[in-house]
């Protein structure tokens, strides 16, 4: 296998490279935080339904997965530096498209391309850090992913501090997205002079086929089916279950014939869990401010400050993840985190006023280490999989979130609101009912935002009361996901305990468990 021309072996950790990757992740989540804080403004500007908002949030996630899978398959051939340059170009072009958006369709495509850029960044930063810190992968991947909540906090803070600023633009939301060029420019300047290492899989001489064997036929089926569903969503066509399963089966057959492997069963378990995990964390993050807007105290931008508050907690905790990982082990952290996340989500479903701060604190303590620790565990348990296994986990989580998670959250909100209004608020419903719109499970009811703007004050307050109850109930629905995760993690915890406890696997003499 050819070596990337820009790669060399480092005698010690290159901290400048670490910080370049860290700021790259900050840039990706900064855009995410701005969009999460601005989606309400976009709804007013473009007359979006809840389902369309869900589709935009989905477009901000699942193309990430397509790019991360694609580059994971070729990154060792073309080099990390090349992939980083592609990410920079995609970020710049996508932000220009978003600034020029005139409606749902055009903003959707700008969001789509920025997700491609984000996935491209993720495709190189994770394997780079796992290689540079090969003896402490879980610790340093947790620290790296402190960049995600840090970027979200900065993006949300920008929106709170400059809520009505337009500068040279005709709308505040355009000013906000223009500010996204700042972190993108910084990570570009940091990345350009850096030299990248060779992935430990490549350095150890593990073949490309052996890398693919970790994913195998079963993993390829799962990823292939969701990729097909994502492409159908991209083309604006309804997802047919039979076609989706056939597409996944076709990919599985090809992968099985080439690798001769069904896949590492432990890795398959991680792939199964990551979808609910992504929806628990990223899905909730994407909707948090909208869900809390009607439940918080009468404090300007309270929902944004809660978002910033939880993001800061996550950033600090991930920076100090090392001692926690050593104390509880990655699988122990996942068990504890999912249990606390359940409590936090249920607490949020009943909290109101300033009590939301306490509920949000419990929730963030639960979710903080879930995603980053899963990546750490993956890098430690499947080193033969190299960039592919590490990035496939992120891709699978985001695919699930974009194709199923976010659209389902939006769909359930539309349906729940329609039922609540039809049960005791029929006159109000007739005043604001919109045209049903396409959704994942068929047509979804919608509310016409223009009609809502024209409501008298009494009717508006009646609507807000119904919306508050409906939006808070979403947390109960989401809480079922970490319940599933907890059961899976407990199974893995006892599996490792039976083997003598959790231990990182080193690439020398590795024996992957298979079906």
What stretches in the chain show pLDDT beneath 70? 1-12, 50, 54, 285-291, 294, 296, 438-442, 508-515
Q: What is the CATH number of the domain that holds 210?
A: 1.20.1250.20
The whole-number pLDDT of residue 294 equals 67
The whole-number pLDDT of residue 508 equals 64
Strand partners, 7: 196
279 domain-assigned:
yes
Cα→Cα distances 362→99, 315, 370, Å: 36, 15, 14
* Chain position carrying tokens 């504890």: 336
- pLDDT tens per residue, range 286-340: 666 666 776 767 777 777 788 788 889 999 999 988 888 888 999 999 999 999 9
Residue 285 token pair: 């993050």
73 domain-assigned:
yes
114 domain-assigned:
yes
Are the C-beta atoms of residues 447 and 432 closer than 8 Å to each other? yes
With a CB cutoff of 8 Å and minimum separation 6, the contacts of 101 are: 107, 110
The whole-number pLDDT of residue 440 equals 64
With a CB cutoff of 8 Å and minimum separation 6, the contacts of 75 are: 83, 123, 124, 127, 387
513 domain-assigned:
no
How many Cβ atoms sit within 10 Å of the Cβ of residue 355? Answer: 15
506 domain-assigned:
no
509 domain-assigned:
no
Q: What span, in angstroms and rounded, lies between the C-alpha atoms of 97 and 84?
A: 20
How many Cβ atoms sit within 10 Å of the Cβ of residue 364? Answer: 22
How many Cβ atoms sit within 10 Å of the Cβ of residue 396? Answer: 26
Tell me 81's DSSP state.
Answer: H
Tell me 383's DSSP state.
Answer: G
The pTM score is: 0.83
Q: How far apart are the first and last CA of the chain?
A: 28
3-state DSSP of 103-153:
CHHHHHHHHHHHHHHHHHHHHHHHHHHHHHCCCCHHHHHHHHCCHHHHHHH
355 domain-assigned:
yes
| Domains held by the chain: number | 1
397 domain-assigned:
yes
Which of 148, 41, 26 has its CA nearest to residue 98? 41
- pLDDT tens per residue, range 467-493: 878 878 888 888 999 999 999 999 999
Compute the Cα dihedral for 233, 238, 240, 241 and give only its sign. Answer: positive
The whole-number pLDDT of residue 512 equals 41
The whole-number pLDDT of residue 442 equals 67
What is the domain range of residue 484? 15-498
């Amino acid at each position: 296998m050819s070596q990337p021309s820009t790669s060399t072996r480092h005698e010690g950790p290159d901290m400048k490279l670490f910080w370049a990757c860290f700021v790259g992740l900050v840039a990706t989540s900064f855009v995410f935080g701005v969009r999460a804080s601005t989606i309400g403004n976009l709804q007013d500007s473009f007359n979006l339904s809840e389902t369309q908002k869900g589709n935009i949030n989905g477009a901000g996630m699942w193309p990430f997965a397509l790019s991360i899978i694609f580059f994971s398959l070729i990154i060792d051939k073309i080099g990390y530096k090349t992939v980083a340059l592609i990410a920079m170009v995609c970020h710049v072009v996508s932000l220009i498209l978003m600034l020029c958006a005139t409606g749902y369709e055009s903003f959707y495509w700008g969001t789509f391309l920025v997700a491609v850029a984000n996935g491209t960044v993720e495709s190189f930063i994770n394997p780079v850090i796992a290689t540079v810190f090969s003896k402490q992968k879980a610790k340093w991947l947790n620290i790296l992913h402190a960049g995600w909540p840090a970027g979200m906090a900065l993006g949300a803070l920008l929106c709170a501090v400059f809520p009505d600023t337009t500068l040279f633009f005709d709308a505040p939301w355009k000013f906000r997205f223009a500010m996204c060029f700042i972190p993108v420019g910084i990570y570009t300047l940091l990345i350009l002079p850096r030299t990248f290492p060779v992935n430990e899989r490549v350095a150890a001489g593990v073949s490309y086929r052996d890398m693919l064997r970790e994913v195998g036929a079963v993993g390829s089926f799962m990823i292939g089916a969701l990729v097909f569903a994502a492409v159908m969503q991209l083309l604006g066509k309804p997802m047919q279950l039979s076609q989706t399963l056939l597409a996944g089966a076709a990919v599985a057959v090809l992968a099985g014939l080439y690798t001769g492997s069904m896949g590492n069963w432990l890795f398959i378990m991680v792939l199964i869990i990551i979808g609910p995990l992504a929806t628990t964390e990223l899905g909730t993050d994407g909707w948090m401010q909208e869900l809390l807007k009607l439940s918080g105290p009468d404090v300007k931008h309270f929902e944004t400050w809660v978002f910033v508050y939880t993001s800061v907690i996550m950033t600090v905790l991930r920076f100090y993840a090392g001692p926690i990982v050593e104390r509880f082990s990655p699988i122990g952290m996942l068990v504890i985190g999912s249990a606390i996340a359940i409590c936090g989500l249920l607490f949020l479903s009943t909290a109101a006023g300033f009590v939301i701060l306490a509920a949000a604190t419990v929730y963030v303590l639960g979710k903080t280490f879930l995603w980053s620790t899963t990546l750490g565990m993956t890098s430690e348990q499947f080193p033969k999989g190299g960039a592919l296994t590490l990035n496939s986990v992120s891709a699978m989580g985001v695919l699930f979130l974009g194709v199923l998670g976010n659209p389902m959250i939006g769909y359930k909100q539309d349906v729940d609101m329609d039922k609540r209004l039809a049960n005791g608020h029929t006159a109000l419903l007739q005043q604001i009912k919109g045209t049903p719109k396409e959704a994942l499970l068929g047509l979804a009811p919608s509310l016409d935002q223009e009609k809502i703007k024209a409501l008298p004050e009494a009717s508006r307050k009646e609507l807000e009361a119904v919306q508050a109850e409906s939006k808070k109930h979403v947390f109960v629905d989401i809480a079922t996901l970490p319940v599933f995760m907890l059961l899976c993690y407990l199974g893995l915890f006892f599996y490792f305990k039976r083997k003598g406890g959790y231990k990182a696997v080193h690439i020398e003499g590795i024996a992957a468990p298979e079906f």
